[in-house]
Each structure stands twice: as C-alpha cells, then as structure tokens.
C-alpha cells in the first residue's frame, strides 16, 4: 500500500488532543486510531504490537541479522492540533499544475500562491488538501503512514536489518507526548521522530520551551465613581503585554530567533488571565526571556499593589542539540539515507518542539525527520503524495543502511 493511501485512511479518525483534560490520553478518540494502528502492525507481521494503558502504540520488527546491531526506533504522534477542526475531514488529491488552489468554491476558500509561495515547489506533484474548513492531520498522520509503509518495504526487501521499534504517541500537540513513553520497554539505542515539514528537512535543534500563566486581580466599582478606586484587571493585562519587547513575537521572528507568544487573553474588571509560550534556541536567552516576565510582574505589583499580578512560569522541554551532538552518527546516517534516495538533506532548526526533544533528555537520542507536509495546524495544510512515498523509502533505507554500515565497521 502507498503511504498516501494509508494517510487518507487515517484522516477519517478525529484525534484532536485536549490541553484542558486530565485524562491520559487527553481524548478517548485517540484510542480509536491507536487500536486500528495496532491491528495494522500485527497484520504487517510485527510482534508484541499493543496499545498500553496510556494510549501509546508499540511494536517490534525483530532483527533478521546474524549479529547484534543497534536497535533503531521510529516514532510519530497520533493527535492533531486544536487550531483547526479534526472532524468530517474532506481530503482530496489535487494534481497540482501551479497557481492558486480553490479549496471550497461555495465558501470562497482559496489557498493562494501569494500567501504560500512555496506552493510552487509542488508543481507537477499530487498534493492532499482539505476543503478549507478543517486541517488534514498530516501533522502527524503523514509520519505514521510513512513509518508503516517503510516497515512494509523493509519486510518485502528481505534484506538484513536490525531490530526496529515502533512507537505512536498520543497528546504530542499539548506537550505531553513523552510523559508516559516507556523508554525502558522501547529499548532502542536511538530513534527518529517523523514529524517535520518539507521533504529533506533534518532537525536536531529545537526551542527551549516554557509556558507562562498570568492572573491579574483587579478591583471593580461603578465607573461613575471609579476615580482612585477601580483597578481594571483587563487594562493591566494589556499593560503587561505592552511591556514585553514588541518585535520578539512569532510573526516577526525566524530561524534561531526566539519569541514570546500571547496564546490567549481573557477577563473583565476584577479578573483577567494571559497565557504565553516562551521560546528560544539559546539557553541563556531563554532564561533571560523568563526573567523578563518576572521583572514585569514585579514592576506591576509595585505600581498597583502586591498580589495584583500572579505569575507562574513552567519549563516544557529543552533544546535536544546537547544530547544529539555526542551522537552525530545518527544525523550522518539520516543524511546518507536521504542522498541515497536523491533527496538533498537540509538541516534546519525546529521552531517548535517534538516528542524527540524530551525523549532525548530522557536518554533516547531522537532527532526529527520530514513528513513532506506544509502549513501544519491550519485549514491550509497540505502534503505531497510523492514526498510521502519518498520519505517512506528514506526510512527504509535508513534501517537497511544501518545494518550494512555496522557490518563494515566490524
């Protein structure tokens, strides 16, 4: 089966995670896809396929080598972002010849080259899009489809390979994908998440990440008699935001530049809340950004009275670079697999995070590979059928090359 055919099957399963849920996984609907993936892994002939009590899918492709070589893991996540609907996805394949793509004629939803100039990279390819009212879930069901197809290719080749461990995780989009990952049971020497973007991307640097929650406590009184009495929590919340550097935001940064991002704001006169994410590749700059939040909170408490601002900052994950650099052969092997499949590797920093970042700090070195998708977390998300098939070949080559490379090293 082709990777894109698998993907089109997976998108019929709604799997959005929920950051407000206390359950594991955060939504029951993720378990429906998990069970189906487990059945598919069993049908492919993998042993010990299971869905554990936390909704993680695990399976093993046993080694067929006559010697012991490294065990490699391939990991992707099942959940999708809450930024766009995951329900009733109407995916279709476009034979793209260039120009704008009408996603929904009735609702006049158009994916325009002027907004997404990299569409031109996909001329003469077949790309999968939605009807403009939902995402398609290439982040990261494309990764799952590519891993499944790679495993099928490896088995069909009959060539020697080491043990391959498969892991499909829930709740990655809400930062919990590695929370209950069974590192010891997975028992891989190293792994790759397949959760990146355009074909050729290879990533082993990601943001250091934190979340900030600000609660503003105000005083409400009739506006007609408010002078020197009212303390408007919403106004103070806006003041807090205005004291942050205006150019250090996602819409004004790129590459290695960090940012603070106001993800939500709500409130009234007595109470207001702000939620931020804080990101930077450089650890010192990351710590400075967090300290800036503390300084602003202290300044506003001094101005309006102690307890006006309640600030909580918590770290989410760190830059995996420090854990990957001592194991750069992992990156070299990924590069070779790409070049063997006529794909030019492009090492880029992740302007976000993956399960691999946290897994690397948990003892499993785990860089990130491309999926062939673009515009993730968006109604304008798309993925290339041709890229998905090539990436499945890259993954198969990665596993088969490892056996040969370790044989030559003996």
Side-chain half-sphere CA neighbours of 321 within 13 A: 14
pTM of this structure: 0.88
Q: Pick the catalytic residue from 171, 172, 205, 393.
A: 172
Residue 100: active-site member: no
Which of 79, 205, 280, 374 is catalytic? The answer is 79
Separation of alpha carbons 323 and 326, rounded Å: 6
What the chain holds in terms of domains, given with CATH numbers, is: 3-206+319-409 (3.40.630.10), 208-317 (3.30.70.360)
pLDDT of residue 405: 73
Question: What digits encode the pLDDT tens for the residues 40-78?
Answer: 999 999 989 999 999 999 999 999 998 889 999 999 999
Look at residue 47 in the predicted model and tell me its pLDDT.
Answer: 86
Instruction: State the pLDDT at residue 66.
Output: 85
Any catalytic annotation for residue 79? yes
Alpha-carbon torsion, ordered 207, 211, 212, 215, to 10 deg: 160
Predicted pLDDT of residue 410: 44
What is the model's pLDDT at position 225?
Answer: 95
Which residues of the chain fall short of a pLDDT of 50? 409-410
């Amino acid at each position: 089966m082709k990777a894109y055919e698998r993907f089109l099957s997976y998108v019929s399963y709604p799997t959005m995670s929920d950051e407000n849920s206390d359950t594991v996984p955060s939504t029951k609907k993720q378990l429906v896809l998990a069970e189906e993936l487990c059945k598919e892994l069993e049908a492919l002939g993998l042993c010990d396929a299971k869905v554990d009590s936390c909704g993680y899918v695990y399976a093993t492709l046993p080694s067929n080598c006559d010697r012991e070589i490294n065990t490699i893991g391939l990991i992707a996540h099942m959940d999708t972002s809450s930024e766009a609907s995951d329900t009733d996805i109407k995916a279709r394949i476009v034979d793209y010849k260039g120009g704008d793509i009408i996603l929904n004629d009735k609702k006049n939803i158009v994916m325009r080259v002027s907004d997404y100039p990299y569409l031109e990279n996909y001329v003469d390819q077949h790309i999968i899009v939605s009807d403009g009212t939902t995402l398609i879930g290439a982040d990261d069901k494309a990764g799952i489809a590519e891993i499944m197809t790679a495993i099928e290719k490896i088995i069909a080749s009959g060539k020697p390979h080491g043990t391959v461990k498969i892991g499909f995780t829930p709740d990655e989009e809400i930062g919990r994908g590695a929370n209950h990952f069974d590192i010891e049971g997975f028992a891989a020497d190293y792994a790759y998440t397949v959760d990146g973007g355009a074909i050729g991307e290879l990533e082993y640097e990601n943001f250091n990440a934190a979340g900030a929650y600000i609660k503003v406590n105000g005083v409400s009184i009739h506006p007609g008699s408010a002078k020197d009495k009212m303390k408007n929590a919403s106004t103070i919340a806006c003041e807090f935001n205005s004291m942050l550097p205006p150019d250090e935001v996602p819409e004004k940064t790129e590459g290695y530049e960090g940012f603070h991002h106001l993800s939500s704001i709500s409130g009234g006169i007595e109470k207001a809340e702000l939620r931020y994410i804080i990101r930077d590749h450089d650890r010192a700059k990351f710590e400075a950004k967090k300290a800036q939040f503390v300084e602003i909170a202290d300044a506003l408490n001094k101005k309006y009275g102690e307890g006006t601002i309640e600030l909580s900052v918590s770290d989410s994950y760190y830059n995996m670079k420090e854990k990957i650099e001592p194991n750069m052969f992992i990156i070299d092997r990924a590069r070779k697999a790409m070049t063997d499949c006529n794909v030019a590797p492009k090492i880029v920093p992740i302007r976000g995070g993956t399960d691999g970042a946290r897994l690397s700090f948990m003892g499993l070195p785990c860089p990130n590979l491309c999926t062939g998708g673009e515009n993730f977390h968006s109604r304008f998300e798309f993925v290339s059928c041709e890229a998905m098939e090539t990436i499945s070949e890259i993954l198969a080559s990665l596993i088969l090359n490892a056996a040969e490379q370790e044989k030559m090293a003996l």
